[in-house]
Amino acid sequence: MVLILITYDVNTETAEGRARLRKVAKQCVNYGQRVQNSVFECIMDSGKCREVKHILEQIIDEDKDSLRFYYLGNNYANKVEHIGAKKSFDMEGPLIV
């Protein structure tokens, strides 16, 4: 199991864009922990990673939206640092601090 960070920018100028944003967020909560509005930390194996990537690719508009994946490996405890407020998003697991 490795830590994979998913970050996204979805263009919300249109109603379609706002719908895509909601769908992306809704899918991501199935795979990890929402740590900021558009940032999810997912501890998963490569199969789950392919799965979520495939799902998100179907949702976004590749001409307008941006998705990025950061692979932080399995030794991730010291690779994340937090400063400031922790908002209460829908929690799926413990928050990495």
Interacting residue ranges for a copy of itself, rule: CB under 8 A? 5, 7-9, 11, 35-39, 53, 56-57, 60-72, 78-87
Smallest separation (angstroms) from a copy of itself to the CB of 80: 6
Binding residues for Mg(2+): 9
Smallest separation (angstroms) from a copy of itself to the CB of 12: 11
Q: Of 43 and 56, which CB lies nearer to a copy of itself in the complex structure?
A: 56
Q: Of 9 and 16, which CB lies nearer to a copy of itself in the complex structure?
A: 9
Q: From residue 33, how far is each of 11, 30, 58, 68, 76 by CA, in Å? A: 22, 9, 21, 16, 15
Asked if 32 and 3 touch (Cβ cutoff 8 Å), the reply is no
Smallest separation (angstroms) from a copy of itself to the CB of 74: 13
Question: How many CB atoms neighbour CB 96 within 10 A?
Answer: 16
Tell me the torsion sign for CA atoms 11, 12, 15, 17. positive
